[in-house]
Structure 1
Amino acid sequence: MTSSTVGEEFEADLVTRYGSPLYVYDLDRLRAAHRDLREALPEPSRIYYSLKANPHPGLVGALREAGARAEITSRGELASALEAGCPAGELLYSGPGKTPGELDEAVLAGVRSFSVESFGDLERIGAAANARGAVADCALRINAAGAPGSAGLRMTGSASQFGFDLDVLLDAPEQLLVAGTRIVGLHFFPLTNATDEEGLCAELVQSIRTAAELRETLGIELRLVDLGGGFAAPYAVPGDRPRYPGLRASVSKALDESLPGWRDGAPVVAFESGRYLVGDSGRLLCTVTDIKESRGTSYAVLDSGINHLGGLAGLGRLLPMSAKPLREQPLDGVVATGAPGPEGAERVTLAGPLCTPADVLGRAVPLPGLSPGTVLAFPNVGAYGLTASLLGFLGHPAPAEVVVDGGEVVSVTRLALQRHQVTGPGPRATQHTAVKELT
């Protein structure tokens, strides 16, 4: 693994310059993750970066330069991908619930590749393409049964809003003939955050075999087989990304057996990743504002909570998190109005500033001796950090987001919620604005 070029003193200086809380993204770590994934995958193959993990244009642009394409699921992600310089014709638009307005905007922008979740989704994609005199290349997302692998979150393999159930698809293949569309591939993504290499390989091998069977049964030309991903990464706790030393050989063997033209691009084989590519590139820096005791529990109240590091808390998926002090001294201008934690208090609950008891980033975290003004750092939050959080709740401003490359700051922005008068098909709900240094 490549270590970060961002040291703690440098991060402390960033907090002084741009305020707290603050996200820091290190492009050196992002590029290292892309190299590691590239080395683990069959060659040749395509990597899509899933913007749902982090749509920051600085990260998207760096991955584009490294060779990844972008997979998007919304107007906002489309805007971020285009801002990052991704060619519209190379984007893959996926996800359930695509509206006619979203699809029209995507086709107008030049998007031509779509993952299809249902017959109704296919009809809407075709209508949008047909209205613009275009043809949409469509990959059918498959909800295959009997998936063998274990994962942090299962995406398919049971009743799901994602993808075609095989029996439904095979019972009505004539419904795939839709004006404005061309079926060119299959899309699989049965799991995310896979817990072991053996299970992940089993999932990918099964998807390859299913793709070969469907090509024959449906009589379709396979130009693209997107095998999804499931590549794991630690979240808000210390740790390294896993390596997958046996994946390339195992998956290449299955491709040779079932889809022998893949080495010549017939079909193109693709994989997707979000958390693996950007997870360890990001850290959240925040500050202790108060220390208190309540009925035997020590609390450190922070200036950041689930509004900035939600971990999908709104979906009931608040995961264990951990932080460590970046420095012990209070920030300039922070008045230490609370007392330090009581002597002997080894563990504290890390609470945020929101008016809800759900705003907790960690319970019984081993952080003795915290004081108001202490800066804490949460590691491995480059994925599913800010934009997976309850950003709008209570109206606290978003943290600044600092992008660092080679130990130098290359951009500082803040995600600002905007209210627009609705005058057309979907104004952008968010935008990045430049952040000035504090004076």
Structure 2
Amino acid sequence: MTQAVSSDLAAALIAKNFSRDEAGILRVGGLPLTELAEDFGTPLFVYDAATMRRTYRALRDALAGFAAIDYSVKANPNPAVIRVFHEEGAGAEIASSAEFDAAIEAGVPPERILFAGPGKGAADLDRVVAGGIGEIHLENREEMFRVAAAGERHGVMVRVALRINPGAAAQGGAMRMGGKPSPFGFDEEAMDAAIDAVEAQAALRLVGLHLFAGTQGLKAETLLGQWAYGLGLAARIARRIGRPLETIDLGGGLGIPYFSGDAALDLGALRAGLPELTATLRADPLLAGARVVLEPGRYLTGPAGIYVARVLAVKASRGSRFVITDGGMHHHLAASGNLGQIVKRDFPLAAVVDGGGAEPAATAVVGPLCTPLDMLARAAPLPPLAEGDLVAVLQSGAYGLTASPTGFLSHPMPAELLVEGGRATAIRPRG
């Protein structure tokens, strides 16, 4: 099943985050993508630091008085990207020791780093405990014992939180991660037993809760409901241990519009629902002093990124138009629809050089790989294109290169560029 995205979404995203010059050339941070493609080769990823900073500040302001922000490194783990958010005041949420090292390289203090994920190995845990990580989120009993052993080896008491797989009342988002059997976290109905097990470990100090009920949430009321549920779970943990909680991590899950009909998350509606949650916190002496944190990734980086590919050939096949490019699923699995999507719909795409009024037509944009899965768009409304033209895949700042099978068919790695202050810097060289 396919669905063509409206060109209106692509145009709106370009107007909001980027620009076109008088010649119709798409620009990022004032720099023409045509020149960047010539200078750095294609395919390439281009990230606009100004869009990242603007998005972060808008979210920070909406959450003011309720929650702080820790950037979820998995969305885009390039140290230069992490550094942008660190400069804005964010901590980091990581899921491996390599991400820990990337965050440290970006300047994030280890005490501002949280470690989540269902399969933390002994080597990863040893690295982060030795490095002074701020908090580790426990997801199963075996992991609890590994963290305790790492603490004993290094002679430290490790600060930990319990990740809870909530009941069905907390579900929501495009990808539900709570209210069903899950490898993530302790089931809510087993929470008390998990609390008691952690409290029995001399090398562990239980300081918080981690809840992540769903991802790609576009509705404020859904997120607010999940957060309210999380505060209730936090109160239960605090009462069980008989002392105040220090952290309440309500997860990420803030979504961005990818497809026709998607509406952007309404930060105003989100802000309007926070006084009730803030009042709940302040009314409970066991929660009032806790640091509430959200860990968005996609929301912060997605809109700032563009994936640029060059047209190699254009062909007609049995009534369909195909544009074959040098970019594909080996660099951008999510855009191909093969990163968990059930219905494979098109990301917003645009020609880097505007068609000058030419009527757009439904176009399949495919990559160079020897598989029919390598399809960046199935029916994108694009103007006529020819060999050498450039295509831009928008909303590509998150879950792009490092979430893709880069080794498949052994094509070279694309460059990654960070644009800021009218200058483009290669933060990952081509090849």
Whether TM exceeds 0.5 here: the answer is yes
Q: Aligned-pair distance for 1:201? A: 0.9
Match of 1:244 among 239, 243, 267: 267
Q: Which moved more, 1:16-25 or 1:166-175?
A: 166-175
Give a deviation string over 1:141-200, Cα, whole Å, max 9, x none: 111102355311111221111111122222454311213210011111111111311111
Cα drift, residue 399 of structure 1: 1.0
Q: For residues 232 and 60 of structure 1, what CA distance do their matches in structure 2 show? A: 19
Matched, 1:74 2:89: no
In the superposition, relative to structure 1, how do residues 270 and 60 fare at CA in structure 2: closer, same or farther (>3 Å)? same
Q: Count how many residue pairs are aligned between Structure 1 and Structure 2.
A: 403
Task: Report the CA distance shift for 1:40/1:370 in structure 2 as closer, same or farther (over 3 A).
Answer: same
Q: Indicate the percent of aligned positions where both proteins have the same amino acid.
A: 35
Contact 1:150 1:195 in 2 (8 A): no
Distance 1:238 1:205, change over 3 A: closer
Deviations 1:34-66 (A, max 9, x none): 111112214153211001110111110010010
User: Matches of 2:430 and 2:160 in 1, distance apart?
Assistant: 33
CA distance in 1, matches of 2:161, 2:62: 24
Q: Which moved more, 1:240-249 or 1:194-203?
A: 240-249
For residue 177 of structure 2, the aligned residue among 155, 161, 173 is: 155
- Per the TM alignment, residue 216 of structure 1 is displaced from its structure 2 partner at its CA by 1.4
Pick one of 269, 272, 278 that aligns with 1:255: 278
Inter-partner Cα distance in structure 1 for 2:310 and 2:255: 29
Report whether the alignment pairs 1:294 with 2:300: no
Which residue number corresponds to residue 389 of structure 1?
404
CA distances 1:223-251 after superposition (whole Å, capped 9, x unpaired)? 11111122111348898853321323423
| Match among 188, 198, 207 for residue 230 of structure 2 | 207
Q: Which amino acid aligns with 1:274?
A: G
Q: Deviations over 1:74-113 (max 9, x none)?
A: 1221121111111112110111100001101111222141
For 1:159 and 1:415, locate their aligned partners in 2 and report how far apart those are by CA, in whole Å. Answer: 41
Correspondence 1:139 to 2:161: yes
Evaluate the alpha carbon distance shift between residue 228 and residue 133 of structure 1 in structure 2; reply closer, same or farther with a 3 A threshold: same
SS in 2 for 1:366: strand
Aligned CA distance change for structure 1 residues 70 and 321 (closer, same or farther; 3 Å): same
> What's the CA shift for 1:415?
7.2
Structure 1, 294-303 or 62-71: larger mean CA deviation: 294-303
Judge which range, 40-49 or 269-278, deviates more.
40-49
Partner of 1:193: 216
* TM-superposed deviation, 1:268: 1.1
In the alignment, is the contact (CA less than 8 A) between 1:50 and 1:72 conserved in 2?
yes
In 2, the alpha carbon distance for the partners of 1:280 and 1:286 equals 18
Tell me: CA distance 1:28–1:237, structure 2 relative to 1, closer, same or farther (3 Å): farther
For the residue of structure 1 that corresponds to 2:377, the secondary structure is strand
Aligned to 1:427: none
Give the aligned partner of residue 46 of structure 2.
Answer: 24
Q: Which has the higher helix share?
A: 2
Query: Larger deviation: 299-308 or 191-200?
Result: 191-200
Letter in 1 for 2:349: A
Q: Which residue of 1 aligns with 2:207?
A: 184
CA contact (8 A) 2:43 2:414 kept: yes
Is the CA contact (8 Å cut-off) linking 2:158 and 2:204 kept in structure 1?
Answer: yes
8 Å contact from structure 2 (residues 171, 178) kept in 1: no
Say if 1:259 and 1:267, in contact at 8 Å, map to a contact too.
no
What is the alpha-carbon root mean square deviation over aligned residues?
Answer: 2.6
User: Is residue 326 from structure 1 mapped to residue 352 from structure 2 by the alignment?
Assistant: yes
Is the aligned partner of 1:64 residue 2:90?
no
Q: Tell me if the contact between 2:328 and 2:375 (Cα under 8 Å) persists in the aligned partners.
A: yes
Does residue 64 of structure 2 align to residue 50 of structure 1?
Answer: no
8 Å Cα contact 1:204-1:251 kept in structure 2: no
Residue 40 of structure 2 corresponds to residue 4 of structure 1: no
1:232 corresponds to 2:258:
no
Instruction: Give the conservation status (yes or no) of the 8 Å contact 1:328–1:375.
Output: no
**Structure 1 unaligned regions, length at least 5:** 330-342, 417-439
The more displaced of 105-114 and 237-246 is: 237-246
Aligned to 1:99: 121
Q: Work out which of the residue numbers 36, 48, 59 in structure 2 matches 1:37.
A: 59
**Residue type matched to 1:144 in 2?**
P
Q: Does 1:130 align with 2:156?
A: no
CA separation in 1, counterparts of 2:117 and 2:143? 10
CA distance in 1, matches of 2:70, 2:40: 32
Structure with the bigger RCO (C-alpha within 8 Å, sep 6+) is: 2
Query: What residue number does 1:354 align with?
Result: 369
Q: In the alignment, residue 236 of structure 2 is paired with which amino acid?
A: E
Amino acid at match of 1:25: Y
Moved more, 292-301 or 346-355: 292-301
2:107 alignment counterpart: 85
TM-superposed deviation, 1:392? 1.4
- Paired residues of 2:215 and 2:254 also in contact (CA < 8 A): yes
Amino acid at match of 1:233: I
The answer to whether the Cα contact below 8 Å between 1:117 and 1:162 also exists between their aligned partners in 2 is yes
Equivalent residue for 2:414? 399
Deviation at 1:315, TM superposition (A): 4.3
Distance 1:234 1:130, change over 3 A: same
Tell me the amino acid that sits aligned with residue 326 of structure 1. Answer: V
* Change in CA separation of 1:256 and 1:362 when aligned onto 2, cut-off 3 Å: same
Question: 1-side partners of 2:371 and 2:338: how far apart?
Answer: 12
* Contact kept in structure 2, 1:255 and 1:262, CA below 8 Å: no
1:115 counterpart residue number: 137
| 1:125 Cα offset (Å) | 0.8
Change (3 A) 1:237 1:93: farther
> Gapped runs of 5+ residues in structure 2?
1-14, 20-27
